[in-house]
Amino acid sequence: MNLYEKINSEQGVFIIAELSANHNGSLEVALQTVEAAKRAGADAIKLQTYTADSMTIDSRRSDFMIKGTIWDGQNLYELYKQAYTPWEWHKAIFEKAAKEDLVCFSSPFDKKAVDFLEELNVPAYKIASFEITDIPLIEYTASKGKPIILSTGIAQKEDIELALVTCRNVGNDQISLLKCTSSYPAPIEEANMAMIPEFKSEFGIIPGLSDHTMGSTVPVVATTLGAKIIEKHFILDRSIGGPDASFSMNEEEFTQMVRAVREAEKAVGRVNYTPTEKQLKGRDFSRSLYVVEDINEGELITEENVRSIRPGFGLHPKYLKDILGRKANSNLKKGDPFTLEMVD
């Protein structure tokens, strides 16, 4: 069973801890974060594979200066130079994840990153929200035949459609779409979880969530609406700082989220009209027909001497009209559960 099949199975929501820049420049912190993600209940740890030079150019022209975000005042090159995960760390992180029985994969940002990750035998690829328009990257990544998880934080419908066609044109239909709001942190009123079932019905893919809101509410709602993947940024402790610290969950918060998602899964359940053992036992307290006044043999059955009351050990109330006006064939006592054999 490959990762796509596992995600699409009945094994539950696949929960990803996004490491991103939350190693804050320390391999030791990165490895400790993998351990913490396992303790918190994650199924996977995800990296980002790029360099500042593969993301942008070193320029301080206005186009390259960040405005309107938590990273205001930095230029793109400075941000990515600070945030990137050194490629020489990847092998150690992958090995640590394997030791912790966590799936480990990454988001590549250029062809060289894909080639590098292929050498590590990644089980899947994630295309980040801002790269959903990079059709050459999507095509090259999808051509490797691994499951593709596409984030949609900036996507219009035509962007999604083009990305899906690109994957399918190279024979890759192992696609998941994550609803994402590319705001850091994202306002809960912009989560728009109605897109989860829409993605599934409109595009025929596995739907999921890449969440930048604070707290567990949005992941729980996504789960109830059919999300099969939940991704959240994860950090050992926000006090260590870093570009993504302010909107990342710590171990305690992530653990609570995982618990809430697992409880939501149980609450959703499945379509099933067969009562559980407890529900069947509960039918003891349903209504049924009982003798509520003593009735002599030959006396007529009326609404005064037989009624629908609790508990449920007597005749089904649907038979009340059938027995009214008929004669009792024996003496009946108040409190007897009524049966059809009691009347002629």
pLDDT confidence of residue 343: 96
Report the amino acid identity of residue 227.
Answer: A
Give helix 27-40 / helix 251-268 axis angle, nearest 10°: 30
Half-sphere exposure of 137 (CA within 13 A, CB side): 22
Find, among 254, 122, 129, 116, the residue nearest to 184 by Cα: 129
Check if the beta carbon of residue 124 is closer than 8 Å to that of residue 142: no
Tokens at 33, concatenated: 């974060």
CA–CA separation, 18 and 270 (whole Å): 30
Q: Set out the domains of the chain in order of their start, with CATH numbers.
A: 3-268 (3.20.20.70), 277-342 (3.90.1210.10)
Helix (H) / strand (E) containing 313 = none
pLDDT by residue, tens only, the chain of 344 residues: 789 998 988 889 999 999 999 999 999 999 999 999 999 999 999 999 999 999 999 999 999 898 877 777 788 999 889 899 999 999 999 999 999 999 999 999 999 999 999 999 999 999 999 999 999 999 999 999 999 999 998 899 999 999 999 999 999 999 999 999 877 888 999 999 999 999 999 999 999 999 999 999 999 999 999 999 999 999 999 999 888 888 899 999 999 999 999 999 999 988 888 888 888 888 889 999 999 999 999 999 999 999 999 999 999 999 999 999 999 999 999 999 999 999 99
Beta strands in the chain (DSSP E): 14-18, 44-49, 103-108, 125-127, 148-151, 175-180, 206-211, 229-233, 288-291, 306-309
The angle formed by the CA atoms of residues 31, 35 and 41, to the nearest 5 degrees, is 140
Q: Which residues pair with 45 in a beta bridge?
A: 17, 104
pLDDT given for residue 182 in this prediction: 79
- Provide the pLDDT for residue 123: 98
Positive/negative CA dihedral, 67, 72, 75, 80? negative
- Do residues 258 and 40 make contact, with C-beta atoms less than 8 angstroms apart? yes
The CB-side HSE value for 16 (13 A sphere, CA atoms) comes to: 27
Contacting residues for 18 by C-beta, under 8 A, at least 6 apart: 46, 210, 231, 232, 233, 234, 248
- Strand 229-233 relative to strand 175-180, pairing: unpaired
| pLDDT of the residue at 1 | 79
Instruction: Provide the residue count of the chain.
Output: 344
Predicted TM-score (pTM) above 0.75: yes
